[in-house]
Amino acid sequence: MILGNVNDEEMEGVVFSPAMKRAFRYLKETDFSKVGDGRYEIDGNRIYATVQRYQTKPEKECRPESHRRYADVQYVAAGQEFIGWCAFTPALVVAEPYNEEKDITFYEKLEPESYFVLTEGSFAILTPKDIHRPCCAIDEPSPVLKVVVKVAVELLEEEMQ
């Protein structure tokens, strides 16, 4: 997992893969207040964004999840939420087995669970080994405008060769 803010000047000096650079360029150059909810292709199925507006929920209503085919860049364009996180371990109990069509596995709980807060402009890069519980309310449910950029793991692996 990597945390940061797209507006930090230090972001310019961070070494990211070309695919991740494209994801961040999209996040920095797009005015999401003028973009409707839905899926937006950046590079077909290899890199795409999902724009979503929702109310955060109490933690107990948010389910831990992971993905196999994509790394997430979860970016909060407006509002704030906290996310639970833990690294994958074989001891995690699967609540719903992997759904290939939706590229998602759900877990009973995160163990051990850590937390971080995403505020306007901040992001988290979550790989398939990062089990996460997104959409959690900090105190009370509140509106969030969030963009999740999906970057194919296969593409990231190609770029490393």
| CATH at residue 16 | 2.60.120.370
Between strands 122-126 and 70-78, the pairing is antiparallel
Other Cβ atoms within 10 Å of 155 Cβ, number: 20
What is the share, in percent, of the chain residues with pLDDT greater than 90?
88
Q: Are 54 and 148 in contact (CB under 8 A)?
A: no
pLDDT confidence tier of residue 139, bands split at 50, 70 and 90: very high
Closest residue by Cα to residue 62 from 94, 109, 123: 109
Dist. CA 51–CA 75, nearest whole Å? 10
Amino acid type, 135: C
List residues bridging with 96 in a β-sheet.
Answer: 106
pLDDT confidence tier of residue 62, bands split at 50, 70 and 90: very high
pLDDT confidence tier of residue 7, bands split at 50, 70 and 90: confident
Structure token digits, residue 60: 């107990």
Residue 160: its pLDDT value, please? Answer: 83
Dist. CA 121–CA 145, nearest whole Å? 11
Q: Give residue 19's domain range.
A: 2-160
Q: What's the average model confidence in pLDDT over 126-148?
A: 97
Residue 16: its pLDDT value, please? Answer: 82
Q: Are 95 and 59 in contact (CB under 8 A)?
A: no
pLDDT tens-place string over residues 35-48: 999 999 999 999 99
Residue 61 has pLDDT above 90, yes or no: yes
Residue 161: its pLDDT value, please? Answer: 78
Between strands 80-87 and 114-119, the pairing is antiparallel
pLDDT tens-place string over residues 72-131: 999 999 999 999 999 999 999 999 999 999 999 999 999 999 999 999 999 999 999 999
Between 31 and 9, the more confident residue is 31
Place of tokens 């945390």: 3
In the chain, how many domains are there?
Answer: 1
Residue 13: its pLDDT value, please? Answer: 55
Residue 70 has pLDDT above 90, yes or no: yes
